[in-house]
Amino acid sequence: MRSKPETQSHTAATEPLSSTSMDPIFPLLRILPFGFLRPPKLRLKLPTLTLPSPMTVYALVLLTYFMVVSGIVYDVIVEPPGIGSTQDRATGSVRPVVFLPGRVNGQYIVEGLSSGFMFVLGGVGVVLMDLALDRNRAKSVKVSYATAGIASVVIAYVMSMLFIRIKIPAYLR
């Protein structure tokens, strides 16, 4: 209901002043500054606000979901390193550690992002499977959607299980 008055108010403004205007201040403004000032002729157009389509909103939502589930708030507040490092006792060389060990509620930045990516991949896989089943598309497109969807879900699930097993060694034992 908001978008329509914006466009129509613009068309109403360009019409001559003889139209019935309920604005009480407008006649005063006509006399006082604009009696001797001449406003320039600009060719401005008010931007028309239209609501985005549901799928655009869905894409934005997916992006937000990816960021939240990767633990971006944790990254901003606790400021962990991108990747941890540990020193090898025998050789003294510094080895990178991807998964923060020992705690459930702790992460490095990269491990958070990669896990978040896996979750979104799994979700997108289920969406692709639905796209393959529902629409009346070309058969080859449906088959490719279906295989992509199934592959995404399988990869996402396997990788997520792998990640959680690395992070929590005592998982499911």
Q: Which positions touch other proteins (CB under 8 A)?
A: 1-2, 5, 8-9, 12, 19-23, 51, 54-55, 57-58, 61-62, 64-65, 68-74, 76-78, 104-107, 111-112, 115-116, 119-120, 122-127, 129-130, 133-134, 136, 139, 146, 150, 153, 156-157, 160, 163-164, 167-168, 170-172
Comparing CB distances to other proteins, the nearer of 72 and 148 is 72
Q: Which residues of 11-50 are buried (b: 16+ CB within 10 A; e: fewer)?
A: eeeeeeeeeeeeeeeeeeeeeeeeeeeeeeeeeeeeeeee
Q: How far is the CB of 81 from other proteins (least distance, A)?
A: 14
Residue 6: phi, psi to the nearest 5?
Answer: -60, -50
DSSP secondary structure, 142-168, as one string: HHHHHHHHHHHHHHHHHHHHHHHHHH-
Q: How far is the CB of 42 from other proteins (least distance, A)?
A: 20
State the Cα–Cα distance between residues 84 and 111, nearest whole angstrom: 10
Q: How far is the CB of 89 from other proteins (least distance, A)?
A: 16
Q: How far is the CB of 39 from other proteins (least distance, A)?
A: 20
Are 65 and 111 a contacting pair, CB within 8 Å? no
Comparing CB distances to other proteins, the nearer of 17 and 77 is 77
